[in-house]
Structure 1
Amino acid sequence: MVELLSLVLVVVASSVSLFMAWIIGAGSAGATPFAPAVGANAISIMRAGLVVGVIAFLGALVQGESVSSAIGTGLIDGVSLSPVAAVVVLLLAGGLMAAGIVTGIPIATAFTVTGAVIGIGVALGGTPAWAKYQEIASVWVLTPFVGGGLAYGLARLLSREWAPESICIPALAASVSAVVANIEFAMLGGETGGQSLARALGASLAPATAHGSLVVTLSFAVVAATLVRLDIHRDEHRAMNRFLLALGSLVAFSAGGSQVGLAVGPLLPLFDTMAIPLFAVLFGGGVGILVGAWMGAPRMIKSLSQDYSSLGPRRAISALIPSFLIAQVAVFLGVPVSFNEIVVSAIIGSGAAITGGAGISRAKILKTLGAWVGSFVLSFSTGYLLFTVVSMAS
């Protein structure tokens, strides 16, 4: 009887986890990255949905470990989520997400899952991981200011006559490529942990790893800048669109690596006891995101692309670059983040650079902020009370 109950819990938890992964793929991870490129007519809606699903899936496999581990074991000290607790977390978070979709309230997945895990962990008798909370709170609070500020600065730069695209866009491509060269990938580190392409290739170029890393980083930057500059000289419009597609791919990859942890993280303590490898868990979450992107993202992309089309390629580029950078910082730190918060902040910043804030609805911003804060508070309090009741009943 006990084994049957455990099996039922595993099936229920896995099903809800896949549902969350599907929603993530159909929403922020699947629709946001390529909406600017669709708005600029750089790629069709259906092709964007197919491509973003595959790229997000790869991001989930390659970079999903950091945030997944933080959600599963890093938010509460002293206890692990029991099978029942994992089910309650996922049902609560999935239920709030579904309610947000029905009502149109922008429920933030990262805030919801994080709040539920902490609330239920405290109800289990765990000790709050204050150091991790400070790290998470810092990223959450700074994201609108850093992302919006970077987007504002980039949009202002790209709108200046003295800063032509033939110079600015290759420079931005070089900067982004340098970051890509230094992203850590778990598959490159082996048993020692993640390692970047710059370190992996640099170690074979020079005895001093730091020096070799610098050579590889500069090589990535120079090659990217040269290719983009040549492309702009051939056809500036198509070059801008192709750069948008490249940025969209990087954002989709980052979204997969970041958001998959929200869907599968609560399951890690449960699956650890069953000796299920992390790769298999990430693979399942990545498949959920992939299917969600293929089935649901095209409709969302069509809706969002109408908003992005009014931005133009320069403002879209200004919004995507900070989104990519912040997402990668969050993955590196193992901090769950809301992609809606990242992208909305960047869009507001790039828009303010051109319109001076005239077209920005302050009431809508306050409503969105209230929904984000409410997502965390509601999930935390509900999780704590719900699991207290469940524990008393059992």
Structure 2
Amino acid sequence: MAVGAIIVLIFISALFSGSETALTAASRARIKQMQKKKSQRADMVGKLLEKPEKLIGAILLGNNLVNILASAIATSFFINLFGAAGVAYATVIMTFVILIFAEVLPKTYALQQPEKLALFVAPLMRSIVFILTPLVLIIRAIVSFFLWIFGVRPPQEMDEDAADAEIRGNIDLQHEEGVMVKNDRDMLGGILDLKQMGIEDVMIHRTNIFALNIALGATEIATQILNNSYTRVPLYRGAPDNFIGILHTKDLLWAINAQKQAEEKDLESLLTPIWYVPETTSLQDQLNNFLKRKSHFALVVDEYGETQGLITLEDILEEIVGDIVDEHDHGLKGMRPQPNGSVNVDGHISVRDLNRAMDWQLPQDDAISVAGLIINEAQIIPNIGQAFNFYGFRFEILRKQANRLTAIRVTKL
């Protein structure tokens, strides 16, 4: 009789232990998908997980009750058989039995199939939680009182930064375990980065803007556009910063096809107004603005209204999907991998782009470009031939124009 009671109690304890592990290890994302498919058991699991303190409290209470009861019955049984020595026998045997059959075995199984087991035990656990709720509330009140005495306060709800960090951690974990390939990891990370990055992090600097003087005339402008791969070109009059509008190559081709006069006034009629945006705008906001305005192109200005660069819809999309190379592009611009494992990069290439292309972890907080990173760390304007070692990489200056570093060799040490 006693042995049968012990076996039943150990089985119940195993059920509690396995249920605890399954319900806490179950993927909330998968449970949420099952809920969308109208799964009643998934709804039960979801509701149980909404109040984890109540769930864990009920399971622990029930588990401890059956374990203590099983140990008490076993102790009484062995005392009747062996006298006072039965206490030692009961302690050793019950420790082994509870550890193996009521803890390790059910929890190991639950970890292998958490969602399956969670769905199976959900109705039973819901009933147990309901029955034990009064006792659980009393225990929680006592625990909260002692925590308050020791200065421990309940945690606040997860903020946006914490949620972002958890998502990134899951993405990196899936990549490290081989479930997610590098491109997928980079795309998901790129989406999360949009809120944290500003336009100035990805814009084309004003020194690299392809812009043309309207005084060149339609024929020369068309020739220069054909020699490049841009579909939208800012035009200026006089000084390079005196932009007057954006010329779409399709509009220019229509004008040439209609045999219009190649005069400035005719070209000017083809221009669309320039859209100026502040450099402090986040990429997420700018992406939304592009979609609202149905526009692909904007010039970036600082707080003084001076042009700092340009931003396009493609620039933002490339932060998510990586470099978009079409039939008119020539591969990854500004990066030239070498046979020895090093990479020759143009100074204006962003540290972020280099990290994504080479799967490196160079810091991105203090500088946007590779040249900026070197200057920030070296605290000088380097000369050609100088080399620096930091962050586990070697940076060698290959070319320089005035104070601008135009070509750099980067080698991972």
Q: TM-score, normalised by structure 2?
A: 0.21
Task: Give the structure with higher Rg (CA).
Answer: 2
Higher relative contact order (CA 8 A, sep 6+): 1
Which structure has more helix as a fraction of its residues? 1
Q: TM-score, normalised by structure 1?
A: 0.22
